[in-house]
Amino acid sequence: MDTELALYTFGLGENYRIQDYFGVHETVRDGQKGFVFRVWAPNAEAVFLIGDFTDWLSQKLKMTRNQAGVWEVFTDLPHEGDIYKYLVRRQGGQEVEKLDPLAIRFENRPGTGAIVKPLKSKKWKDSLWMARRKRLGFKERPVSIYEVHANSWKKDQDGKPYQFKELKEHLIPYLKEMHYTHVEFLPLMSHPLGMSWGYQVMAYFGFETTYGSPEDFQDFVEACHANNIGVILDWVPGHFTQNDDALAYYDGTPTYEYEDYHRAHNYSWGVLNFDLGKNQVQSYLISSALYWIETFHIDGIRVDAVSNMLYLDYDQGPWQPNSEGGNHNLEAIAFLRKLIQAIKKDHPDVMMIAEEATSDIPITKSIAEGGLGFDYKWNMGWMNDILKFYEMDPFDRKYHFNLVTFSFMYCFNENYILPFSHDEVVHGKKSLMHKMWGDRYNQFAGLRTLLTYQICHPGKKLLFMGSEFGQFLEWKHDDQLVWSNLEDEMNSKMLVFTSLLNQFYLDHNMLWQDDYTYDGIDIIDADNAQETILSFTRKNKKGDFILCVFNMTPVERRGFSIGVPQEGIYEEIWNTELESFGGVWKEHNPITESQKESWRDYQTTLTFTLPALGASIWKIKKRK
């Protein structure tokens, strides 16, 4: 793209490859090899390039400004590996050292200097995966996501977190062993402080140096694809770190943030909000999303904190109604639609996910239908309700059974992912295991039943690391998971359980082929609050079904009968109380023949023993 077109489309908010123009690029001018540096700082009095090659402030290189507010300099002084920054002279004369918003590499924290080192084009070896992704998509496929914070999954003997070179060797075999279809990482973009978990980004093209190099991550993704594992990234287009050496008030005036002080400042999180109505910001953010998708072959983007983007009154600070008198952020709505359209135009098979907790604006409906066009939305209501229910004493659960059943009233209003995420196992909320009621035995029984319920409920699945083996301690961002838990037999059996549960999910297309309509589920009994038992069938497109029954109290129900849709001989194919899982049952329920007997709207019943605080799943072995 030539300079004139690059600047013109950047100003229109329609340049979706700005990294090809901005940042640092190796080039030749007048026969001289060197590097050209470009940065957008429209209201700066002056901008200088400084770095190792200028002895920093000793020989700073003055840049020239063009009509679009972009500063540029060509120099043959830098060498590959040199560190650089921009020295921005703000209105009034104050000079501030700033990072390069388009840099792809940075020095180690706490430094924020960018590194002169282009990312060479990779010869990818994942064409089979990419072709299959394009052909099969994800809507009618199983999606079971393992959510990972790269800095705290595992550390070496010296206490140093695994980088992606090590994660390639250790995490990928683990994902295969656990039968996950996807891995999702908390943000990997450059951020100044690990305590933010990556959610306070300082540069949207930079790969966080803590995790290794961009090339290491490319190799990791390629290896994931070779093992039939998709990779999803968290991405934060709503807000950014307010550190003065990053994007904040870049040229001394509101550049990336809103001009209105209160709209610019996010008081709850101590960050700055992007001005999503500004064309240049739109070009910057959409280019960032596409950069990660195209440069790293990413299979999905989870957009963080969408509610904060959509509602003017979401934060704790003062707010002003929009031009229509409401609380919707009209610029953010337009931006998100533009983002989805730009990505889907070239990458319709990339999964777009919204972390959003309200119901006012349709998230996964098409743009033509008035929605935002996302593929999935996190089902925060389901997650909050079911965790509140499972934290209760079982004696009280019959009075709050609506927490379990309410989701069936709205579970197809959007296309959902069911998340048990990092946010639920930190800041005093306790681990998923620790939330469960009762003694240690009953906590494991409750966790097994909870995860089975997640697998059987309509919607794609997500589980944060550590929950798969019942880690008791809360997640800590600066410590590795408590892998020593696996020396305990109960934790070890929990790990086996989760692995086999994920495999069970993959093997039964009734659980994932139709996650979007009532055609994929029949509720048998959602009214048995007294015994706190829920039952339903999940169906595939051929009409084959499995029967899912959940006993949510620690009382074994012998001679339990339930209506079933077809006569036949039934076989129990899943029981959370097997000894091999940590329970007390030595074997499954026996193969059982249905009986001709009226039960509500059903003319056929099935009678069996329902395990205490357990789940029992059946299929027809032989039809009558």
- Which residues are annotated as catalytic? 304, 355
Question: Residue 260: which residues within 8 A CB-CB, separation 6 or more?
Answer: 320
Residue 382: CB atoms within 10 Å: 24
Quick one: DSSP state of residue 104? S
Helix axes 164-178, 489-507, angle to 10 degrees: 70
d(CA 460, CA 258): 36
Question: Residue 186: which residues within 8 A CB-CB, separation 6 or more?
Answer: 147, 148, 149, 150, 197, 198, 199, 234, 422
Quick one: DSSP state of residue 298? -
d(CA 624, CA 622): 7
Question: Whose CA is closest to 443, among 458, 461, 455, 430?
Answer: 430
- For the sheet with 521-528, list strands across it: 521-528, 533-539, 545-551, 615-623, 568-575, 592-593
Question: Residue 256: which residues within 8 A CB-CB, separation 6 or more?
Answer: 101, 240, 247, 248, 250, 272, 274, 275, 278, 281, 284
Answer whether 297's CB lies under 8 Å from 124's CB: yes
- 174 membership: H or E segment, kind and range: helix 164-178
Question: Whose CA is closest to 562, among 550, 575, 574, 577?
Answer: 550
Residue 412: CB atoms within 10 Å: 18
